[in-house]
A and B are shown apart, each in its own frame.
Chain A
Amino acid sequence: MQQAPTAGELPKLLRRDRMRDLRERAIGAALLTAAAVGALTTAGIILSLAGETIRFFGQVPIVDFFTETEWTPLFSIQKFGVWPLVSATVLTSAIALLLAVPVGLIAAIYLSEFATLHVRSLFKPMLEVLAGVPTVVYGFFALTVITPFLQGFVPGLSTFNALSAGFVMGVMIIPLVASLSEDALSAVPVSLREGAYAMGATRFEVATRVVFPAAISGVIASIILALSRAVGETMIVAIAAGMNPILSFDPRVPIETMTAYIVQISLGDTPYGSLSYLTIFAVGSTLFFMTFLMNVLSFWVVRRFREVYD
């Protein structure tokens, strides 16, 4: 160690404060712990899912899982084709998006480009309250209000069906699409809007030809986020869509989504560790993989279509 001759007489003010160094390090460690909770939980979920899923595929060939078209793990003749569950999830999510994307985007454009400050400050919180309604309430709303209502003019609509579950799920994710898209639209600089207005663009032309294209990456991200919310949604479909795993895209009949199946097995009397019990991990992994893919996709979309407008 090199020591300057004056080291012994270093003024007190300049000397390192050991206590403070320790304190800083302790604070750093505490913050790291908090940050690690989320990361470790994710890792734990993946590990436990993976372990049980591998055990499941030890007994059921993975090829059967993805090629069979029947799902009957609770019957005496067990079939493990996951497609009936996947198709149900896809169907209800598609119905939800069909409602939520147009309504949510129109609401976002209205709030960001047309509404006065007063209207916006009134509407946005109201919209966000929708997002706070517990999903079990939505589920009963679908079963006891929407289904009887739709039965009035949709012939052959069962008590449990994909249509009302998907519809109510759509209502549930409208605020997600509207609120996040509105944020993306509002983030487009005023200078771009002024440039368009100054060329004689109408409010509608400014919104659709300048602001919306400039915000497209945020808008797409909001839709993908809403989609993964719909895919993972459990309570509404478990209550209102039925527990009937059939491969069908008819929205009027009872079906069973992946999430609803997991609820059914978790709450039922399937013996722990049995093959039927292991199915929920295989289905859970599939679901996890689907939402993971969508998150990666949204990340990619945001980067790919990001238009740097500033």
Chain B
Amino acid sequence: MHHVTEETIEPRVAAGSSHPPRVRVGIPAPAVDEPIEHPAIEVRKLSLWYGPKRALGEIDLKIAAKKITSLIGPSGCGKSTLLRSINRMNELIPRVRTEGEVIVDGVNIYDRRVDPVVVRRSIGMVFQKPNPFPKTIYENVAFGARINGYGGSMDELVERSLRQAALWDEVKDDLKKKSGLALSGGQQQRLCIARALATSPDVILMDEPCSALDPIATQRIEDLMVELAREYTIVIVTHNMQQAARVADRTAFMLAGDDLVGRLVEYGLTDQIFTSPRDSRTEAYITGRFG
């Protein structure tokens, strides 16, 4: 048996306890936004109404592939609504009407001929509050594959997805014993990410994925997001501006005017938005003067 000395643990503890503010590598320091040539998602003149109330006003937004894009803004600015219109979740709400286009892979997903069920299969989503199904961990991950009639090895898929979501080591011994709801909040959220990954989407939408989590669980999710951004396009809605600054390559600032219609105010590289915003309203928001 190995004798673990204090010296061997000490550096890890030190590294874990005092995190230097993490800076994303690969973003050029001067905030000059290069145009996005082959966007994974292109939102064109998107407007949305809840009944008679308009919530989104002609949003135009290009989202870069395999990057993290964050949507920020005060409550009621329409950022979640915009996120949910990327996988056509809004139409599950009665009396919602959408105008405009969302182009994914060259196809307008709002085209009459497009099946929303298929759209949602290729665009995963993680919600504000972890919402695992009241089933075992295994069944949670296998759910999407089962309804899609997945033909491969389910065991492999479950393991791969849980590994990708950095949850495998914690749950591998009780995959079929434990309910997804028996996990901690942070584990539940990673389970939901694994569940989304199991349908092999191209895009993952995250609606304030850390707002119900403690700082340590939050950090694990953020690390995971950065990791996943190598393979997936990630769009995240967040209330937490530090989070946007930490993880996002690009940031979009939204705001609802006096008419309560959410509009895109400013969009650019995260560094530029946070260090030299062009719009005075963006500056007021990020410096904490409102919202």
Chain A residues contacting B199 (CB-CB under 8 Å) are 199-200
CB of A191 closer than 8 Å to a CB of B: yes
Please tell me which one of the listed residues B94, B125, B135 contacts residue A198 in the complex, with CB atoms under 8 A apart. Answer: B125
Q: How far is the CA of A62 from the CA of B201 in the complex (A)?
A: 68
Partner pick for B133 among A196, A197, A308, CB 8 A cutoff: A196
21 contacts between A and B (CB under 8 A): A191-B131, A192-B134, A193-B92, A194-B89, A195-B133, A198-B120, A198-B125, A199-B124, A199-B195, A200-B120, A200-B122, A200-B148, A201-B117, A209-B143, A210-B133, A213-B134, A213-B135, A214-B134, A307-B179, A308-B181, A309-B181
Chain B min CB distance to A149 (Å): 40
Q: Which residue of A lies closest to B182 (CB)?
A: A308
- Nearest 7 A/B pairs, CB to CB: A200-B121, A198-B125, A307-B134, A199-B144, A191-B131, A195-B131, A200-B120
The residues of B that contact A189 with a CB separation of less than 8 Å are 131
Q: Within the complex, what minimum Cβ distance (angstroms) separates B198 from chain A?
A: 8
Contact of A194 among B92, B118, B119 (CB under 8 A): B92
Tell me, rounded to whole Å, the shortest Cβ–Cβ distance linking A198 to chain B: 4
Bound Cα distance A191, B89 (Å): 12
Contact across chains for A200 and B117 when beta carbons are under 8 A apart: yes
Among B87, B125, B131, point to the contact of A192 (Cβ < 8 A).
B131
Tell me how far the C-beta of B48 lies from the nearest C-beta in chain A, rounded to whole angstroms. 17
Shortest B211–chain A CB gap in Å is: 13
Residues of B within 8 A of A200 (CB): 117-122, 144, 147-148, 199
**A78 at interface by CB-CB < 8 Å:** no
CB closest chain-B residue, reference A306: B134
A117's nearest neighbour on chain B, judged by CB, is B94
The answer, yes or no, to whether B82 is at the interface (CB within 8 Å) is no
Q: Is A205 an interface residue (CB 8 A)?
A: yes
Most buried by B among A197, A202, A209, A309: A197
- Neighbouring B residues of A201 by C-beta, 8 Å: 117, 143-144, 147
Interface pair A205/B147, CB less than 8 Å apart: yes
> Is B226 close to A, CB under 8 A?
no
In chain B, positions 109-147 with a C-beta closer than 8 Å to chain A are 117-122, 124-125, 127, 129, 131-135, 143-144, 147
CB-nearest residue of chain B to A116: B94
Given contacts A199-B144, A201-B147, A202-B117, contact A309 B134 (CB under 8 A): yes
Give chain A nearest CB distance to B94 CB in angstroms: 6
Q: Which residue of B lies closest to A195 (CB)?
A: B131
Please tell me if the beta carbons of A197 and B89 are within 8 angstroms of each other in the complex.
Answer: yes
Within the assembled complex, what's the spacing in Å between the Cα atoms of A202 and B149? Answer: 13
In this complex, how many residues of chain A approach chain B with their Cβ under 8 Å: the count is 23
CB distance from B112 to the nearest CB of A (A): 18
CA distance A194 to B120 in the complex (A): 11
Residues of chain A within 8 A (CB-CB) of B144 are: 199-201
Q: Does B247 contact A (CB under 8 A)?
A: no
| Proximity bits, A139-166, B CB within 8 Å = 1, else 0 | 0000000000000000000000000000
> Which A residues are within 8 Å of any B CB, using their own CB?
116-117, 189, 191-202, 205, 209-210, 213-214, 307-309
Q: B179 contacts which chain A residues (CB < 8 A)?
A: 307
Write out the residue numbers on chain A whose beta carbons fall within 8 Å of the beta carbon of B143: 196, 199, 201, 209
Is the beta-carbon distance between A198 and B87 smaller than 8 angstroms? yes
**Contact at A194–B131, with CB atoms within 8 Å?**
yes
User: Is B134 a contact partner of A194 (Cβ separation < 8 A)?
Assistant: no
Interface centre among A189, A199, A209, A210 (most CB of B within 10 A): A199
Q: Is B254 an interface residue (CB 8 A)?
A: no
Interfacial chain A residues near B132, Cβ < 8 Å: 195
A116 CA / B195 CA spacing, docked (Å)? 29
B146 to chain A: closest residue by CB = A209
Closest approach, in angstroms, between the C-beta of B205 and any C-beta of chain A? 8
Contacts of A194 in B (CB 8 A): 89, 92, 127, 131
* B192 contacts the other chain (CB 8 A): yes
Q: Are B133 and A214 touching (Cβ within 8 A)?
A: yes
Nearest-Cβ distance from residue A184 to partner chain B, whole angstroms: 13
What residues of B have a CB within 8 angstroms of the CB of A198 in the complex? Answer: 87, 89, 120, 124-125, 127, 196
Flag if B147 contacts A195 (CB, 8 Å): no
Chain B residues with Cβ below 8 Å from A199 are 120-121, 124-125, 143-144, 147, 195-196, 199
> Shortest distance in angstroms between B173's beta carbon and chain A's nearest beta carbon?
22
User: What are the residues of chain B within 8 A of A202 when measuring CB–CB?
Assistant: 117, 147
How many Å lie between the Cα of A209 and that of B134 in the bound state?
A: 11
Q: Output the least CB separation between A62 and chain B (Å).
A: 45
Give the CA-CA distance A272 to B181 in the complex, in Å.
61
4 further A-B contacts with Cβ under 8 Å, apart from A194-B127, A199-B120, A200-B118, are A198-B120, A198-B196, A202-B117, A210-B133
Rounded to whole Å, the gap between the CB of B179 and the closest CB of chain A is: 8
Q: Which residues of B contact A193 (CB under 8 A)?
A: 92
Q: For residue A301, give the distance in angstroms from its CB to the closest CB of chain B.
A: 16
Q: What is the CB-to-nearest-CB distance from B100 to chain A, in angstroms, rounded to a whole number?
A: 21
> Which of B119, B147, B199 has most chain A Cβ within 10 Å?
B147
- Kindly list chain B residues whose C-beta atoms are within 8 Å of the C-beta of A196: 133, 143
Q: What chain A residues lie within 8 Å of B125 (beta carbons)?
A: 198-199
Chain A residues whose CB sits within 8 angstroms of the CB of B117 once the complex forms: 200-202
